[in-house]
Each structure stands twice: as C-alpha cells, then as structure tokens.
Structure 1
Amino acid sequence: MHVEFTKLLITAFKRLLLPGLFLGYSVSVSGQRTFKTASVLASGAWYKISVPETGVYKLDASFLSTLGISGAIPSAQIRLFAGGNGMLPERAGEPRIDDLEELAISVMDGGDGQLNGSDYALFYAEGPHKWNKDSSARRFTHQKNLYTEKAYYFISIGGAGKRVTAQVNPPAPVTSTTTFDERYFHEQDSVNFLSSGKGWWGEEFSALSGRTLNRSFLL
C-alpha cells in the first residue's frame, strides 16, 4: 500500500509540473554544498583539550608533557584547531564549519625554535556558551549550550603552524580608558519538569513563609 501511494504522488507531481514547463516557467536548482575531500584528523597524532569559558589560555612544556608530548618540541610545528563554539545550528540550511579550522597562536620560545623550560604558547579560545549582538536593540543576548559545559580544541605537532601576526610600528593611542562594560549570566539548568525537551529551570526563589534562601553568584 505504501508503494502504491508513492507512485500516485509521483504521477500527480508530473502532471502539475509538465504544464508549467510548457508555459515557460523556469525551475531553479540550488547548487550543492562542496565538502572537503578529507578531514585534518585523518593523519597525524592529535591531542584533545577543553576549556570552560572564553578567554586567553596558556600552553607550556609542562602541560604538553601531561598529554604525552615530550622531548624536543619544534615551536614552529605546534598547531591548534577548533570546530567552532556554541551549539550546532538546528536548521539544516544554516552555515556550519565543514572540518576543524586552524587557529592562530602566539609562541614565546626564547628564539631557539624549541618549546621547553619556561617557554609557552598563548591562544584565544571561545567557551561553550555564546554572546550574540543585537544591533537593532543595542544589546547582547546569551545562548547557553544545553549539551556541554566545555568547548574542545585539538593540538597537533607537524607542518607549519598558524601564528598571530605582530603589528609593526603600532599607532600611538588616542584614547585612554580605565573602565569597560562586562557581561555575565547565571543560569543553572537543574530542573526539567517533564524530564524531556529543552525547558530547563534553575534555583527556586519561592517566597514561602518562614523560609530563608541565600544565593551566592560568582562573577
């Protein structure tokens, strides 16, 4: 019965489509998306690390040794990759990263070309949660990642790593400031009344008689 129903749908579609073609209607076919032929993860040794929030992070020889990277480490071959921050888009048509993309890092190796001793590398990492700019409302809104509290990055040793370009002869500053606006949000997804779906709530603030609630917020 399912096969017959499918055939009827195809026949009806042909009957509707063919007159339109004879009348000169044009049918546009959207181009297919082009994907990479192979992932960067297909070869080499990879080391996965995580960060809890957005900020600048430090990679030194001591930390790399805990991952199993030891001995003479050519500083020019240290590479860092990421697959984008925040939750994956739910709509199929929204753009997304096809494969891991390399990030630029800043390496301080003392000029000997090796990462050892007190040498280190710095990189800017975005956390699992995102802040989205709303230009029309002149404000920012946050998007909490519902599935993880960490964002993941991948380290590889080999090839020519991407580096932060140093600015030559930077211009003199014209404005000095001692304050800035920062953004925080406190959102603990601890209660789901249906035990299903994305509707989560945090702490209870009910004003019950004789009950005192104390809450501390780390900023």
Structure 2
Amino acid sequence: MKKRFIFYLLSSLLVFPLTGFAENHATILQQTNSGLIYRLAFKTPTIDTLEQNRTEKLRIRFQEQTGIFNYQNQLYPEQTTVLAVPPVDRPINVTLLNAQWRSVETKLPLQHGLPDQPINEEINTVGISGTGWMGDLRIAQIRTIPLRFFNGEWQYLTSAEIQVSWPAFQPIADNFTEQTSVSGRAVLNAEAINQFTRRRAQSTLLKRSQQTGREFVRMEVESNGIYRISGAMLTQAGVAISSLDQDQIRMYNGGGRPLPEGVTAERSQSLIEIPIIVQDGGDGQINSTDTILFFGQSVNDWEYSDELGQWVHYTNPYETKNVYWLSWDAQASAAKRFQVESASAGTTVQHGLHLHSIENDLLKIMDSGRDWYDNPLSPGDFENFEFTFINPRRSSAKIRLRMVADDVGSPNTLGLRLNNSTEQIFSFNSSSGSSDGYKVISSTIRSFQQLSTETSGSNTMQVQFKNTVGSAKTYVDWIELMIDDSLHAQGGELSFANNPDDAVRTFSASDFSSEPIVMEIS
C-alpha cells in the first residue's frame, strides 16, 4: 500500500503549509506597519506579429503576465501582485520609485481587443486594480503595465521598485489567531497574513448538541496543514480547560467530500474520529500554554490514488471549508492519538513519488464560467514550463495535461518535449467557437511517459502549437507531472507517496531549524 507522509515544521500559533509567493520575480525590499517596497523583475518577453484587419499588429507576452489591459483598443500586457493590507477601510497608495526600460525596436501598433472587450480610458505603469476581502483577509491588487510607448517606440519594463503605503496600522494583540482561507502562495507579503486577518467574536466557537447536551469546539480549515490549538484559545472560546481530561480529548471530521446524490447511496451517518497529538507538558493537565495538534485537510486539493497509481485532484463544489469538531466527553474507548513508532532495520528510502502541478489561471476566454486558461497559442507559438528536480530517476516522469481550443480546428496538432526528448506529437479536433450565443470550448487530456530526459536541476517542458486546419487558438489549462525524485522539502513541507514494496523502509529528514512534527497520512 502506498502511503503519503507529511513533515511540517511548526513555528507559529497556526501553521499553514506555505511555499512562499508563487511569483518569484517579486521580492520585498522593505516592510513597515505603514507599507512596503517591493521589486519586480521581468524576463525578456515573447515578441511577434499577427494580422488584424489586413494590418500587421504587434503582440508582446511576458512570462510573468497575468492578464491583458485594453487601452485605446490596444492590448497591453498586465501583471498583478496581490498584497495583504490592514483590515480597515483606509486608502492604499501606490508609487513607482524606480523603473528600468528596454527598447522593443518597433513602432507597430499593438493587437486590437475583441469587439465586446471593455476599453480603459487611462493607463499608468503602476496602480491599484482593486481592493477587497478574501475571507477575513483584506487584499489589494497592484496592477503593473510592463509596456509603454515612449519617444516614438515601444519599451518594455525589465525591473521596477514599487512602494505601497497605508496609514500606520497596529493589530490588536490577543491569544487567538483567526484562521484564514488565503494560502501564502496567493500574496506577496505572506508573513503579514495573520497580522492583517480580521478578528471575529469568539462566542460562537463553543457549540452544544441539542440531542445529547455535549459540548464541542467547531473549527474550519481551508488549507492542508498541521493546526495547533492552545489552551489559551480554548479558554477564549469558553472552554473550562481546568476540568478537561487530556486522555478524553478527541477530534472529529466528516471528510469534507460532497454527499452522494443518489438517495439510496451509502453514506456515513456519523463523524469520524481522527488521531491528534496532545502536548500537555507531561503533567496530565491542560493549561493555557499546552497545545493540541491535528492534520487538517482542504476540501480542494490533491491526493494519491493507489488504484490509479497517480495523484488525482478532488474538490467539493459546495463547500470551501472543512469542519472539525473538538470534544472532551468521557467515553469507554480510548481517544485516537498519533503514536511514535521505532522503525525496524531496513533499507533507507531516498526517493519518493513527487507531484509537480501547474494550473494556468491567467485569463478567461468567456464572460462567465469557472474555467481560466493560459495565454493563447497561435500556430507556431510555443510555451516553456520549468520544473526543478533534485535527483530524479531516469524515465520515471509521467506527464498529463489538458489542452483547450476556442474555435474550429480539424485537427489541431501540437508537440510536447521534456528537455531534448523526442517530440511527442498529438492532435485533437475542435468545433466552432460559438453556438447560439455561447462560447464553445473543445478540449483533450493527454498522458506521456518514458521520455528519458529527466535531469537534476532545471528541466524545461515545451508545448508547441504546430498547426491547425481551421482558425483555432489553443490554451494550456493544467499540467501534472509525477516523478520519482529524491526526498526534499518545499517551503517547510515534505510530501510524497511511498513506492510499493513489502520491505520495511526507514525514512529520514534533516536540516530543520527546530524539532519537526511528523505525521503519516495514509
């Protein structure tokens, strides 16, 4: 049986498996309670031309681009940086401190927008595109337009220093850290998530069953990770911790998956107890500094399927939060605990199955719907995707990807290669781009393996739209790459699936800054 192991390093009251800001071209230079300064770095954009209305137009695309900005019916590239900001309704100011530009060496007009695409009346290199709330976290979206027409030519931005400021904010100190739905991948200043999360009244945490009179503490989880509950948090929630028997503390969960639609389908009639770790300091009592640790799972994530032999994505379309219940009533059975086990002699495992996934939520090609896609590829266009491996086993990579097309193509032919592998050619048919006023999207999911070109360090997977018999453009929706690689942590988390084997295995982890918490999630 394959097992999934999670190593987390706990360093704060509430710990999420953060991997840092996903857009590594953004770096914070300075940060205070009244704002921050960050630097953006842009790689050389892809520059080509296309014909619109029998006129040659310029198309410029950046790897860091997150969308397009229509100004005077010309499509400018747009990059958005998301920041956590104070949870109060106060102005946010953005200033461009320094910018480095480079000539594109052309005066051609930019490509035109679609007929129904909104046109903006003004344009600035930096500005606020919007502020709002993601759960209990207030965020600001900072728009950067890395292209300008200056001195009779187009110039693109290579780097910029941007200052974002707000009135000085000092959060109210308390012992309770509110859970937030925002992952550290989503915002640049991830370390400010807890500081800028809006606090809520805690009186609703303690619940009482109408049927049994038993008391519970209700918690909501949106991200996979190890969560820590302190005695002080329980006291603030209304729990009399001095009367708690630590041997009877239990955690329950309903799984977080959608219930089956069939009326006669089998379904769970009760909550399931999950194992926890109770750190009581050795005195058998719960006080304000003692902690309870449990592994919380998202309702929208990846899990390894023994049956399929690969990671699969799961989602609950009806919920964004997984609910956990903490109970302390005396029962005859022993409460479930994570146990420390000593391994028998065996072979030390150095490799495991790792998942690399890319979800290209950059733009949508229709006005509604949940699907977002990568930038469009015209015939001849290609896009490179970078993956970093440590010490991969050759020929172990398995790639799955979904391609979509927005118009007729019979067929659309594409090619895929990993590093210098032999190009894998595949094709699919797509139908007309519209029907009765609706946008029609055709798609295909393809799998590739035995590419035999995996290497340590940076690896480039290239997808090229070779040709089409029709007028379709293609888009990369998502990519999944599973590979047998050396065990390595990313952002404080080590997650992998064990290769099938009946032999006893020993796993080792090192280079943690303090004692890690290790949990086996099977």
Is the shorter-chain TM-score for this pair beyond 0.5, marking a shared fold? yes
Identify the range of structure 1 (71-80 vs 162-171) with the bigger mean alpha-carbon deviation. Answer: 162-171
Q: Could you say which residue in structure 1 is the equivalent of 2:297?
A: 126
Unaligned runs of 5+ in 1: 1-38, 209-218
Aligned-residue sequence identity (percent) comes to: 24
Q: Could you say which residue in structure 2 is the equivalent of 1:68?
A: 238
Unaligned runs of 5+ in 2: 1-208, 379-490, 492-522
Identify the range of structure 1 (60-69 vs 174-183) with the bigger mean alpha-carbon deviation. Answer: 174-183
Distance 1:86-1:46 versus aligned 2 partners, 3 A rule: same
Q: Could you say which residue in structure 2 is the equivalent of 1:14?
A: none
Q: Could you say which residue in structure 2 is the equivalent of 1:30?
A: none
**Normalising to structure 2: TM-score of the pair?**
0.28
Query: Aligned match of 2:336 in 126, 148, 163?
Result: 163
Distance 1:91 1:187 in 2: 34
- CA-CA distance at 1:49 after TM superposition: 0.4
Distance 1:138-1:100 versus aligned 2 partners, 3 A rule: closer
Deviations 1:87-110 (A, max 9, x none): 222333443211112222121112
Q: Could you say which residue in structure 1 is the equivalent of 2:218?
A: 48
Deviations 1:161-185 (A, max 9, x none): 6132535543245214276514556
Contact in 1 for aligned 2:252/2:273 (Cα 8 Å): yes
Distance 1:134 1:71 in 2: 40
- CA-CA distance at 1:113 after TM superposition: 1.4
Distance 1:136 1:165 in 2: 26
Distance 1:86-1:183 versus aligned 2 partners, 3 A rule: farther
Give the AA of the match of 1:112.
Answer: D
Please show how residues 94-109 of structure 1 align to structure 2 within 5 Å.
Answer: 94-109=265-280
Contact in 1 for aligned 2:276/2:338 (Cα 8 Å): no
- CA-CA distance at 1:48 after TM superposition: 0.9
Structure scoring higher RCO (CA < 8 A, sep ≥ 6) equals 1
* 1:145 and 2:311 aligned: no
Deviations 1:122-173 (A, max 9, x none): 1122221254555565322212221222100111222146132535543245
Query: Aligned match of 2:256 in 73, 85, 96?
Result: 85
Q: If each structure's helix is expressed as a fraction of its own residues, which one has the higher value?
A: 1
Q: Could you say which residue in structure 1 is the equivalent of 2:282?
A: 111
Distance 1:133 1:166 in 2: 23
Distance 2:241 2:340 in 1: 32
Give the AA of the match of 1:163.
Answer: K
Q: If each structure's strand is expressed as a fraction of its own residues, which one has the higher value?
A: 2
- CA-CA distance at 1:42 after TM superposition: 3.2
Three-state SS of the structure 2 residue aligned to 1:42 is coil
Matched residues, number: 167
Deviations 1:44-99 (A, max 9, x none): 11221011122222121122223222441331232211111222223334432111
Distance 2:247 2:307 in 1: 44
RMSD between superposed Cα atoms in Å: 3.6
Distance 1:71 1:133 in 2: 38
